[in-house]
Amino acid sequence: MILPVQFDKNEWFVLIGLVIFYTAVFVLPKRFPLSISILVMLFTLTIARISDHLLSTSDINFYNVMDSGKYELFDVFVYILYGPFGYFLAYFYDKWKLKGMMIQLYVIGGTVVSSCIEFLAVHYHVFDYKGWALPYSFCYYLVMLALTLLFFRFLQNTHPSMKGTNQHSL
């Protein structure tokens, strides 16, 4: 695995983000079984990894992740950074018992937050756009956040300890 040539602001951005987001995950009161938490976080980081692989391959290459177009150690950390966001999305959806139009507003709000974080990531050179633009990400996040909530609802409906709890219309 390739190490960074120079340890600079993009590596610091990722490390600080990991500490902040994973600390928040562990500090928040537990709402779901550990298996649900892990599956939601794995779903989120897997979707991010697949998407980045499809959008930043050598044939298409809309952007690079971290310092080069090659897969490096900090690329792994970037994908691990996505996990807590999916967890927070499911956590507050469940905590606030969102229904109806509030779910759409929640997805839009989460999309705005995701886009702001990506804006910062671009500023710190975690992503280097080559034909990509933040408005594309906004549209992408609308779809992905909705899919993440659908996946969470699927887990709620199938996990024995969550059946019948906090069921909302989606």
- In angstroms, the first-to-last Cα distance of the chain is 41
pLDDT per residue, tens digit, the chain (170 aa), is 888 888 999 999 999 999 999 999 999 999 999 999 999 999 999 999 999 888 877 678 899 889 877 888 999 999 999 999 999 999 999 999 999 999 999 999 999 999 999 999 999 999 999 999 999 999 999 999 999 999 999 999 998 888 655 554 44
Buried/exposed code over 125-156 (b: 16+ C-beta within 10 A; e: otherwise):
ebbbeeebeeeebeebbbebbbebbebbbebb
CA 140 to chain centre: 12
Q: What type of residue is 121?
A: A
The whole-model pTM stands at: 0.91
Buried/exposed code over 88-103 (b: 16+ C-beta within 10 A; e: otherwise):
bbbbebbeeebeeeeb
Structural tokens at position 67: 């310092």
**Structural domain boundaries in the chain:** 9-158
Q: What type of residue is 85?
A: F
Distance CA 163, CA 114 (A): 30
To the nearest 10°, report the CA torsion of 70, 73, 78, 80: 130
